[in-house]
Structure 1
Amino acid sequence: MRLDLTTLNLVLAIEQTRSITRGAEREHLALAAASKRLSDLESRLGVQLFERRARGVEPTEACRALVRHIRSLNASLHALESEVVEFARGIKGHLRLVANASAISECLPPDLVAFSQAHPQIRISLEDLTSAEVQTAVAEGRADVGVFTPPLLDSRLQTWPYRSGRLAVLVPQGHALGEREALPFVDLLDYDLIGLHAGASVQELMREQALTHGRTLKARLQVRGFDAIAQLVEAGLGVAVLPEGPARRLAQVFRVQVLRLDEPWAQRQYLLGVAAQERLPLVVQRFTDSLLQCAGTHPEQEPS
């Protein structure tokens, strides 16, 4: 049985969009051609891949099993391409990196500079996602490497300890809490909290910690970007918890004050993750080795 990539990617697109029409559009196929490809594939496999509904389609269990293999196949094809192009002239590889906002702001930039200087012919694309989204993107082959904060949610990853960071409190200058150098998280729960968008690791961590005190967050404002948080804190609209490194840099620009968050969970570990596989593509191996060496972690250390 011969399966072509166009048809397999069409199945993946339909499964993700829950629509044959939108899946066909995403794969640049005419609707009639896409429907025929899908019908032929179902006949060839002897199973129904989608249940037709009034508002779209729903994947069957057979489809979900097929989709897992398609994602694995796409990841393997990308790994193959990455390794082969090492022997080409010019750009020798393209590495897709995803990381959460804290990692991008707190620890990644100097390590990316070091890698780029040592490997100028390898192009890096970087995307900002939540820690949960980072893990899914790497596990499904949509990214090569991810940097995120625990917990580890996807067993399809192998990870290494990368760097550590610390959370701090940001308050407006002249705020009542500003007279203290450090404070526990419970003291913030009486104030409006300005945070990142839902799903961000810091936001989820604060929500969980509030629940342990039998409280709820007064999350009045949620925005994207630490600079936006600092501007809102400066304006007196609330207080915030964010990584200490970015917080101290922002305190040099905005009229805000940085306080130490006196909690054990304020100390955080960043993880470097790749899809679990017997052998990493050369570009990915070089990149992970470089980042772990920059962080002072032995690259040969067994991943978790």
Structure 2
Amino acid sequence: MAITAPPPATPNDLLGVTKTLDLLAPRWSVWVLMTVSSQSLRYAEFKPRLPWLADGQLHPRLRHLTNASVIERTEYAPRHVTYGLTSRGAALLPVLTVIASWGDTYLEKELVANQHTGVAEPERIAPAQNIDDAVALLAPRHATPILWSLQARGTATAKTLATEAMPGYGLTAVYKPLERLVDDGLVTPSGTDGYQLTASGRALAPVFQAISAWATAPSPEADTHRPRELGGAPSRNRSGPWATTPTRLPAPAVPAAATARPALTTMPPPGPAWKSGDLFSHQIPARPISPAGGPLR
């Protein structure tokens, strides 16, 4: 089978995706971001909403998200400071919805007894937890470049992936991240030294597409005075199902749950604010669950 290199503009999209995942990756960052999605809050008002988060953990997350221009800090008086979403942060919420949907569909869930019927059924996971767990799979170094390369090629050898996704590294360096992606159920071996995406890996197409669209969209004029870590002018001549413009080739088929939303080939419009019930399922958990290991969570 002839192997062709990915389109030359693809790295622009890949860079935006990896930077956005780095933004979301620090633990509890997504929870903090979604907690202020419906209204601005004072520092002390975070505690009843995120009771497990220590004071020493909250401040670094707020600073991290503020530096990334998705949360803004407004000081009305020395002891009256609020934190709320910027327009850039509000535009990120529909992207989080796409990530949460993928996580709810593909991440492992334990069976628990329904308290009313006694019938075992998959546990309900908070959207913020699904996002956290999904990002934990995608954010490790080299994970997304490898997935991106496999999406463009369909099947690739370890040598090709090492050259394309990990330039400057030797061949042996690619096997550890590949093994992790195989263990997580996103990649599967195919033939002699070959690899390809699993169904759940292919279903990441709308996730990366939405992230790329957000990351490459120009910031609104209202946010231009803030320092920016992400985004910039949209790259041109993109192609491929994870890029921000339509591709000539059809994207891989994904379940209806992952595609029942507006097309992600353009910047998603800001959606409705997350409600606390959406953020925490039915009630605030005593503490979010920790990944239990095994494929996909």
- Calculate the TM-score normalised by the size of structure 2: 0.30
Name which one, 1 or 2, has greater alpha-carbon Rg.
Answer: 1
Q: Which has the higher contact order (CA 8 A, sep 6+)?
A: 2
Q: Answer 1 or 2: which has greater strand percent.
A: 1
Q: Give the TM-score normalised by the residue count of structure 1.
A: 0.29
